[in-house]
């Protein structure tokens, strides 16, 4: 093929490509489809109830010498076992947090348990009860970070 002929073919192809790109596409496409946009949601629930089995007692916590005699000092203690049923959340429950809610506001996490644990026992000075007038709830913890709280107990007291 001669040089002139090759140049004319290349120039012709370049013009064809340029004109083809400039023209609008004549093909048309239309189709419809019905799709579901329903997104399922999950609700994390706390345990349905919380039970507190508690009692108060006096514990010897020290003493002192007075007039040649040893005087024992006692502190009133409060012992409570908090128990709850499993959360009805269908998946992802990793454990539970036992939470105290002081009457003045805020909250304090007392402990965390594994998913299979349904009770927690603690002992504190009974003076905490009158100082904080707290209620207790149990919080469901999940692997995806969502939580749900149980109803609160009545105010704890001796």
Nearest to 53 by CA among 84, 81, 83, 85: 81
Q: How far apart are CA 123 and CA 58, in angstroms?
A: 12
CATH of domain 51-149: 2.60.40
Q: What is the pLDDT of residues 87-138, one digit of tens each?
A: 999 889 999 999 999 999 999 999 999 999 999 999 999 999 999 999 999 9
Instruction: Name the burial class of residue 105, with classes exposed (0-12), middle (13-18) and buried (19+) by CB atoms within 10 angstroms of its CB.
Output: exposed
pLDDT grade, residue 42 (50/70/90)? confident
pTM over 0.75: no
Calculate the average pLDDT of the chain.
Answer: 87
For the cut 90, the answer to whether the pLDDT of residue 149 exceeds it is yes
Q: What are the two backbone dihedrals, phi and then psi, of residue 141, each rounded to the nearest 5 degrees?
A: -110, 140
Over residues 76-88, the pLDDT tens digits come to 999 999 999 999 9
> 10 versus 142: which is more confidently predicted?
142
The 3-state DSSP class for residue 139 equals strand
Q: Which residues contact 27 (CB under 8 A, 6 or more apart)?
A: none
**18-27, 47-56, 91-100: lowest mean pLDDT where?**
18-27
Rounded to whole angstroms, the Cα distance separating 95 from 30 reads 52
Q: Where are the domains of the chain?
A: 51-149
Q: Are 101 and 133 in contact (CB under 8 A)?
A: no
pLDDT at site 32: 75
In whole angstroms, what is the distance from residue 156 CA to residue 149 CA? 18
In contact, 70 and 105? CB cutoff 8 Å: no
Q: Check residues 70 and 35 and name the one with the higher pLDDT.
A: 70
């Amino acid at each position: 093929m001669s040089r002139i002929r090759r140049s004319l073919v290349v120039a012709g192809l370049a013009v064809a490509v340029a004109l083809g790109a400039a023209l609008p596409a004549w093909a048309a496409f239309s189709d419809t489809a019905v799709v579901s946009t329903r997104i399922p949601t999950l609700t994390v629930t706390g345990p349905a109830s919380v039970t507190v089995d508690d009692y108060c007692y006096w514990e010897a916590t020290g003493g002192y010498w007075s007039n040649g005699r040893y005087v024992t000092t006692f502190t009133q203690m409060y012992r409570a076992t908090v128990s709850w049923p499993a959360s009805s959340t269908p998946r992802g429950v990793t454990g539970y947090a036992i939470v105290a809610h002081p009457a003045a506001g805020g909250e304090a996490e007392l402990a965390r348990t594994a998913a299979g644990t349904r009770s927690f026992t603690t002992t504190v000075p009974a003076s905490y009860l009158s100082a904080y007038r707290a209620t207790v709830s149990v919080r469901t913890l999940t692997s995806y970070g969502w939580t749900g709280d149980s109803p609160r107990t009545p105010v704890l007291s001796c």
